Structure 1
Amino acid sequence: MPKQVVIPPGTTTPIAPFVPGTLADGVVYVSGTLPFDADNNVVHVGDPAAQTRHVLETIKTVIETAGGNMADVTFNSIFITDWAHYAAINQVYAEYFPGDKPARFCIQCGLVKPDALVEIATIAHIGTAGSGA
């Protein structure tokens, strides 16, 4: 199966050369997702919980556009700017993965825009029924 780009309706041009997601062989790879608005400005400045919710909603949209749902997520790569935000990020994260949790890692690092507190990249296995985009 050739790869298909996954671009949810209303997606704006990214700040770098990438697409929101790629579907290949029933697996959706979601690019690193930052808490950006339609103009690529950081939303909810200073609020790690609200930024995490925004990021996970964006990821959810990419996965749903490909034909899956959040229960299909198998792996998340989480990047945070400060361990002080870890508890707030995890509280929101747990809302999006209430049952069996996906595997993941979390590291502290700098992000592309200083006001961004969290970035998440995701892999979801949706099988062969995904519609692509």
Structure 2
Amino acid sequence: MGKLIVSTKKAPAAIGPYSQAVRLGNLVFTSGQIPADPASGEIVPGGVEAQARQVLKNLGEVLSASGASLDNVLKTTLFIKNMDDFALINTIYAEFFNNEPPARSCVEVARLPKDVLIEMEAVAYIP
């Protein structure tokens, strides 16, 4: 079975030469999701809390388009601009991953696309 490119209009379009996600067999690898509103392409206002929620919504939509869901996530990687925001991001993250949370890495980075405060990618399986 070859790789399948995943695309949905319910999440922000790729802003470069990459796919929103790639499915191979029953595994899904998402690209980093930023807190852009899928309809307008604009970054959501409201600081890191609003941005974290939008990132997780976008991630959920990409996974849904692949046949998976947030419940099927095996591993996430969070890229955040300020580690001082970690506690708040963690609280929001727990709302979306409250049952059997996935493995996770979180790194502070100097800069993210469009100067957002958070970006997240995931690896999931399709049941």
User: Which TM-score applies when normalising by structure 2?
Assistant: 0.90
**Deviations 1:9-45, CA, capped at 9 Å, x for gaps:** 3555422111111110111111011111244332125
What is aligned with 2:5?
Answer: 5
Alignment RMSD: 1.5
What is aligned with 2:74?
Answer: 74
1:113 counterpart letter in structure 2: K
Higher helix share: 2
Measure the CA separation in 2 of the matches of 1:52 and 1:106: 13
Q: Is the 1:15–1:40 Cα contact (8 Å) retained in structure 2?
A: no
Residue 67 of structure 1 deviates from its aligned partner by 1.1
Counterpart secondary structure, 1:54: helix
2:82 counterpart letter in structure 1: D
**1:49 corresponds to 2:38:** no
Gaps of at least 5 residues in structure 1 are 128-133
Identity of aligned residues (%): 31
Once the two structures are superposed, the pairs formed by residues 1-133 of structure 1 within 5 Å of their partners are 1-11=1-11, 13-37=13-37, 38-45=39-46, 47-109=47-109, 110-114=111-115, 116-127=116-127
Q: Is the 1:14–1:40 Cα contact (8 Å) retained in structure 2?
A: no
Q: Which has the higher contact order (CA 8 A, sep 6+)?
A: 1
Q: Is the 1:80–1:106 Cα contact (8 Å) retained in structure 2?
A: yes
- Which of 31-40 and 55-64 deviates more? 31-40
User: Which TM-score applies when normalising by structure 1?
Assistant: 0.87
Measure the CA separation in 1 of the matches of 2:48 and 2:21: 23
Measure the CA separation in 2 of the matches of 1:106 and 1:123: 14
Gaps of at least 5 residues in structure 2 are none
